């Protein structure tokens, strides 16, 4: 992604207001119908999720990007059984993931377009990852995770999630690309909400494939960056940075944030990293960052801060993902972040909400 101008983001109060109305209407409906009807509807939502993953896996949106397709044309193009495809599309059309014209042919909707491989923010790999046998298998062990409070990876695969992803690169590559897409989703809201202009050098710790850091560097041409992640994740990224014209402004460094992180940054970004770890392990990462930081540097923790309300929130889903797939990782409320930061020697100075579910938690070393 090489855009330079921030995109138009709907105002936060409008997004929050509509979200509240939606929750009220959904609850109203659920109180009117019998409890088992409302519950079954939630239960089979998992089928819908898998149907979206299947459309992503088959590349249906990529095919429809070229124009409307009849069932026969689409089935032939994506090499599937026509009846099976029609049944898949019937469900997805009913949720507006795709549309069907009067002549029966299928077309893309705004949601379906987000499954295109070449969409500006593509969810194709996110959907493929969440629907993959690897991920589904882990979630089928949610009851074990709830019972023990521990990640299921060691029992299921004989390795923690990140160990497994490091050695099984098919899963690891898909996960990295999925994380990049999720990261890209929140980039514009983040850049609209937070001004990075005062930072000369930004260090993105656990920055994955660098989608956030490179976008910041494109938006702020005077800034420099250091992308830091595990060697398996960042080893091949130098050519990509050069292709984006960032070879002179962005360094790549492989290593473990439990040992040390690159010194010399004016801002240290930790995006969707802290939630992967228990308080003790997260404190270790934060201490390593603190050790690398100058007194004047700023720490920016970017996370889905759990709200105090009881309505649905993406953080409540991802918190279970952390339970299933990480060793003690969990989402946190603002006050839990304040306590964790204090344990590692930081003071939380500001929490900046964005139009995405993410917040920027700004902190300074004490």
User: Which residues are CB-contacts of 112 (< 8 A; sequence separation ≥ 6)?
Assistant: 55, 60, 61, 64, 92, 97, 98, 99
Among 29, 47, 95, 258, binds ligand SAM (CB under 6 A): 258
230 contacts ligand SAM (rule: CB under 6 A): yes
Is residue 330 annotated as a catalytic residue, yes or no? no
DSSP secondary structure letter of residue 69:
B
Give dist(CA 169, CA 165) in Å, integer: 6
Give the range of 47-55, 91-99, 153-161, 206-214 binding ligand SAM by CB under 6 A.
206-214
Chain centroid to CA 178: how far?
A: 7
User: Could you tell me if 139 and 324 are in contact, meaning their C-beta atoms sit under 8 angstroms apart?
Assistant: yes
The beta strands (E) that lie in the chain are given as 98-100, 106-108, 201-205, 224-229, 250-254, 267-271, 298-303, 346-353, 359-365
Among 70, 256, 278, 284, binds ligand SAM (CB under 6 A): 256
Question: Applying CB under 6 A, what is the total number of residues that bind ligand SAM?
Answer: 16
User: Could you tell me if 226 and 203 are in contact, meaning their C-beta atoms sit under 8 angstroms apart?
Assistant: yes
**131 to 170: interface string for ligand SAM, x by CB under 6 A:** -------------------------------x--------
Give dist(CA 150, CA 156) in Å, integer: 12
Between residues 2 and 94, which has the closer beta carbon with respect to ligand SAM?
Answer: 2
Instruction: In angstroms, give the least distance from the CB of 308 to ligand SAM.
Output: 24
Between residues 175 and 346, which has the closer beta carbon with respect to ligand SAM?
Answer: 175
Instruction: In angstroms, give the least distance from the CB of 362 to ligand SAM.
Output: 17
Q: Is 358 helix (H, G, I), strand (E, B) or coil?
A: coil
Give the range of 41-49, 53-61, 84-92, 227-235 binding ligand SAM by CB under 6 A.
227-235
Give the range of 95-103, 204-212, 244-252, 292-300 binding ligand SAM by CB under 6 A.
204-212
Pick the catalytic residue from 275, 309, 313, 330: 275
User: Which residues are the active-site residues?
Assistant: 275
């Amino acid at each position: 992604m090489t855009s330079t101008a921030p995109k138009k983001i709907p105002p936060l109060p409008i997004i929050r207001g509509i979200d509240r109305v939606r929750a009220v209407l959904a609850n109203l409906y659920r109180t009117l119908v019998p409890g088992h009807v409302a519950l079954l509807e939630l239960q089979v939502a998992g089928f819908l999720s898998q149907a979206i993953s299947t459309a992503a896996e088959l590349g249906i949106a990529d095919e429809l990007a070229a124009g409307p397709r009849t069932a026969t044309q689409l089935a032939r193009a994506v090499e599937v059984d026509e009846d099976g495809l029609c049944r898949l599309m019937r469900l997805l059309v009913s949720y507006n993931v795709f549309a069907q014209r009067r002549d029966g042919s299928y077309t893309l909707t705004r949601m379906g377009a987000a499954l295109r491989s070449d969409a500006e923010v593509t969810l194709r790999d996110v959907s493929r990852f969440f629907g993959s046998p690897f991920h589904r298998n882990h979630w089928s062990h949610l009851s074990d995770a709830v019972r023990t409070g521990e990640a299921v990876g060691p029992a299921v695969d004989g390795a923690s999630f990140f160990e497994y992803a490091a050695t099984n690169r098919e899963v690891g590559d898909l996960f990295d690309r999925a994380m990049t897409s999720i990261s890209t989703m929140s980039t514009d809201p983040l850049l609209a909400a937070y001004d990075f202009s005062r930072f000369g050098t930004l260090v993105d710790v656990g920055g994955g494939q660098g989608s956030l850091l490179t976008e910041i560097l494109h938006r702020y041409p005077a800034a420099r960056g250091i992308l830091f992640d595990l060697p398996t994740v960042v080893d091949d990224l130098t050519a990509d940075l050069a292709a984006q014209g960032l070879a002179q402004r962005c360094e790549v460094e492989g290593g473990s944030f439990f040992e040390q992180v690159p010194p010399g940054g004016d801002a240290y970004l930790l995006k969707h990293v802290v939630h992967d770890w228990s308080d003790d392990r997260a404190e270790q990462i934060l201490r390593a960052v603190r050790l690398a930081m100058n007194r004047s540097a700023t720490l920016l923790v970017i996370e889905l801060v759990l709200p105090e309300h009881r309505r649905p929130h993406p953080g409540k889903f991802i918190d279970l993902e952390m339970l299933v797939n990480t060793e003690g990782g969990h989402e946190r409320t603002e006050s839990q972040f304040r306590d964790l930061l204090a344990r590692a020697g930081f003071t939380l100075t500001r929490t900046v909400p964005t139009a995405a579910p993410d917040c920027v938690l700004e902190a300074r070393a004490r």
